[in-house]
A and B are shown apart, each in its own frame.
Chain A
Amino acid sequence: MQLKIKPSKLQSFILVIVLIFFSGNIINANPGLSEEALETRSQKIYKGIRCLVCQNQSIEDSSAGLAKQLKVIIKELLNQGYTDQEIRDYLVERYGNWILLKPPFNLSTSALWVLPFIILFFALIFGTIYIYNKSKNQKETSNNQLKKEEEKELSKILGDFR
């Protein structure tokens, strides 16, 4: 009985969670251009832009001259009303996709973005088949019983913890 009640509680919890999440998103849709907001927005962009001179650092982390200058430019553009995406496009136009720490999704990066999930998918399929086979054999094999006995004895000796 108890078990049956729990999921419904859980479901209502989930519903609340989903509602909170979405309501948050709707409110979020009107950005202000206060000093604070500008700072957070620009820092978010900095973190995604690769420093060209210093390799493998974002311009946020770098104190190189060019990185500093790019930061100034990004702030300027933000003040001119550029959107985050427009700013990234502005930089990509000049320096190529290399400058983005998050590679965009296009033909040449499709493998990069899709493969992890394909690998995961096949791994899970493979695992399911493997586990299924292991359990199917369990029912069929007849000399299994003897082995089980053996194993029980063995695990006793080994001090197996169950």
Chain B
Amino acid sequence: MKKNLLFIIPILIFTLVSIFLAIGLFLKPKEIPSALIGKRIPTFELPKISKELNGLSEKDLISGKPVLVNIFASWCGPCRIEHPLFMELAKNQEITILAINHKDNPNNAIRWLNMYGNPYKKIGSDLNGRVSIDFGVYGVPETFVIDGNGCIQYKHISVLTKEILNKEILPRLNGKKHVKCN
């Protein structure tokens, strides 16, 4: 009997493996969650992209109430897809949308914003992409939610959708699902 027990081991291991494989089918291996959730934002100071628009520094993100920070570039196709969503969001005066213009020629960025509209209160030009790296950005677009104290709450990778906006971002802008920074 004891020996027969050994023969069960293969099927037990296989069962375990197939459970994980089944779960794995519904996971997204390509999306890496931010390591910075619950961490303070990095210190930075980014220049403006034109005379009329403000630059961006970490102080702008610590304004007492939650803000959205969108990483975008004029050369980024998917950014255009999510842009109307930000335009609509910007109509709400309560919501502050800030942006980091990622590795982009400022002139192109201005032309792009003139064409599709500017939902951003302030835009920092991150020419060499260094600040983006401090934010753990690995592709554009990405969108951050930062609470009033400069603590990173949430990051969405790639194109923002209405569904994500309603389910994940708006509640956090209203102070729900809050993560404390240490």
A residues whose Cβ falls under 8 Å from a Cβ of B: 52-53, 55, 65-66, 69-70, 73, 92-98
Contacts and interface: CB of A to CB of B under 8 A. Distances in A.
Question: Top 7 nearest A-B pairs by Cβ distance?
Answer: A96-B35, A52-B138, A94-B136, A98-B32, A95-B136, A95-B35, A69-B129
- Tell me the dominant secondary structure on chain A's binding face: helix
Contact of B32 (A73, A93, A96): A96
* Interface band, chain B: 10 to 19
Contacts of B36: 93-94
Contact of B35 (A55, A70, A73, A94): A94
Contacts of A95: 32, 35, 136, 138
Contacts, number: 38
Nearest to A66: B138
Contacts of A73: 130, 133
B155 to A, nearest CB: 11
Interface of B: 30, 32-36, 103, 128-130, 133-136, 138-139
B32 A52 contact: yes
Given A69-B133, A70-B133, A73-B133, A92 B138 contact: no
A65 B128 CA distance: 11
B139 to A, nearest CB: 6
Contacts of B129: 66, 69
Contact of A94 (B33, B128, B134, B139): B134
A70 B130 CA distance: 9
Contacts of A93: 35-36
Contacts of A65: 103
Interface centre among B32, B35, B135, B139 (most CB of A within 10 A): B35
A62 B32 CA distance: 19
Nearest to B129: A69
Contacts of B130: 73
